[in-house]
């Protein structure tokens, strides 16, 4: 793919992912135009004054709840990365309708605007919490995944392709445990929900580059899942705050002990490559020849953070913390 000929739009472009995506796009891929679509003028101003003022960069104020505004923003756009979401689990639990309006109806609006505007490819950001969801955030993202996958049935032979990326916790992103531990260790005590807890772990740069590669590889209809390592919460706590007391507070509502990115049921529709898994759609429009080079998964396979065959050692974990 020749990115230099492309106009790219990223929704939620002032978030952690959006800023790293813009940085990598502008320095390594140099698209013809990169549009930051978000609803917060202050964050756009802060992003611009922080150095994101490249000649090819555009800032577009809008909300994914507004389909007409999305359609206007996508005029002439080739590629859309949909990263806008309400993603804080407690906030989504307390404000369920707001989460549905942004995460579900916003997804529907992105799809409609992309189809109407003739966008070539749309890649939507999902989460491991969409696998067998136990909280509203995960449930809304699972619905969004279903919408984006099935949107391919409306595109015809040469129309817009839609796909999703599903991955785990991002090191150092807003709301993650690393900033929390950094703040708590000043008091001498850090809080942990359960000492058995495990999570998939990925850096922001790894996540962005996985998204870019998925855009380049997608046929339309896939859910892409990177092969990434797991970590145990106690290993992270001991590394970040070795002198601190640890207070166990119990698992919070809507929280899992371990995260999964492919369930046993989804594995029957999934294939494996060297660096990723691909969940293929079970729809009649899907071409069986797509990903024919990939390997099927064994019966009963699931991709879970506690049974993962990749684990971060202390050196690797420290390196990821330093880079966050």
222: domain CATH number? Answer: 3.40.50.720
**6 has catalytic annotation:** no
The pLDDT assigned to 178 comes to 84
In a domain, 250, yes or no: no
Does residue 241 form part of some domain? Answer: no
Q: Are 195 and 228 in contact (CB under 8 A)?
A: no
Tell me how long the chain is: 324
* Mean per-residue pLDDT, 42-68: 96
In this predicted model, which residue has the larger pLDDT, 170 or 81?
A: 81
Is 189's pLDDT higher than 80? Answer: yes
* 187 falls within a domain: no
If one counts every other C-beta atom within 10 angstroms of the C-beta of residue 314, the result is 11
Could you tell me the residue range of the domain that residue 88 belongs to? 3-167+202-227+260-302
Q: What is the DSSP string of 102-167?
A: IIIIHHHHHHHHHHHHT-SEEEEE--GGGSS--SHHHHHHHHHHHHHHHGGGGSTTTS-EEEEE--
Residue 236 lies inside a defined structural domain of this protein: no
On average, the pLDDT of the chain sits at 93
CB within 8 A of 73, min separation 6: which ones?
Answer: 9, 35, 37, 60, 62, 113
DSSP tag of 311: B
Average pLDDT over residues 298-314: 93
The predicted pLDDT at position 199 comes to 92
Q: Which residue in the list 6, 19, 87, 129 is annotated as catalytic?
A: 129
Give pLDDT, residue 175.
65
Query: Is 157 inside any structural domain?
Result: yes
Predicted local distance difference test score (pLDDT) of residue 103: 98
Whole-structure pTM value: 0.94
The structural domain count of the chain equals: 1
- Residue 13 maps to a domain: yes
Q: Do the domain assignments include residue 147?
A: yes
Assess if residue 26 is contained within a domain. yes
């Amino acid at each position: 793919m020749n990115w230099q000929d492309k106009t790219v739009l990223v929704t939620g472009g002032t978030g952690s992912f959006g800023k790293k995506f813009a940085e990598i796009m502008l320095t390594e891929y140099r698209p013809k135009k990169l549009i930051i679509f978000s609803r917060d003028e202050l964050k756009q101003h802060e992003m611009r004054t922080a150095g994101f003022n490249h000649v090819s960069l555009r800032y577009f104020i809008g909300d994914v709840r507004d389909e007409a505004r999305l359609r206007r923003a996508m005029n002439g756009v080739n590629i859309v990365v949909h990263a806008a979401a309400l993603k804080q689990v407690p906030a989504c639990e307390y404000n369920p309708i707001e989460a549905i309006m942004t995460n579900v109806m916003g997804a529907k609006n992105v799809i409609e605007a992309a189809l109407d505007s003739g966008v070539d490819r749309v890649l939507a950001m999902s989460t491991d919490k969409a696998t067998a969801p136990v909280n509203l955030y995960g449930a809304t993202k699972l619905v969004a995944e279903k919408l984006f996958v099935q949107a391919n049935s409306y595109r015809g032979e040469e129309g817009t392709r839609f796909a999703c990326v599903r991955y785990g916790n991002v090191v150092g992103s807003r709301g993650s445990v690393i900033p929390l531990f950094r703040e708590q260790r000043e008091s001498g005590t850090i809080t942990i929900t359960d000492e058995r807890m495990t999570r998939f772990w990925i850096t922001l740069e790894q996540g962005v580059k996985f998204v870019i590669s998925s855009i380049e590889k997608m046929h339309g209809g896939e859910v892409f899942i990177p092969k990434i390592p797991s970590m145990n919460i106690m290993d992270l706590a001991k590394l970040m705050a070795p002198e601190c007391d640890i207070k166990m507070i119990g698992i919070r509502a809507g929280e899992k002990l371990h995260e999964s990115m492919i369930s046993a049921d989804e594995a029957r529709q999934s294939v494996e490559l060297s660096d990723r898994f691909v969940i293929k759609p079970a729809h009649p429009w899907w071409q069986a020849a797509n990903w024919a080079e990939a390997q099927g998964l064994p019966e009963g396979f699931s991709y879970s953070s506690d049974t993962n065959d990749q684990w971060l050692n202390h050196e690797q974990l420290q390196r990821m913390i330093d880079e966050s």
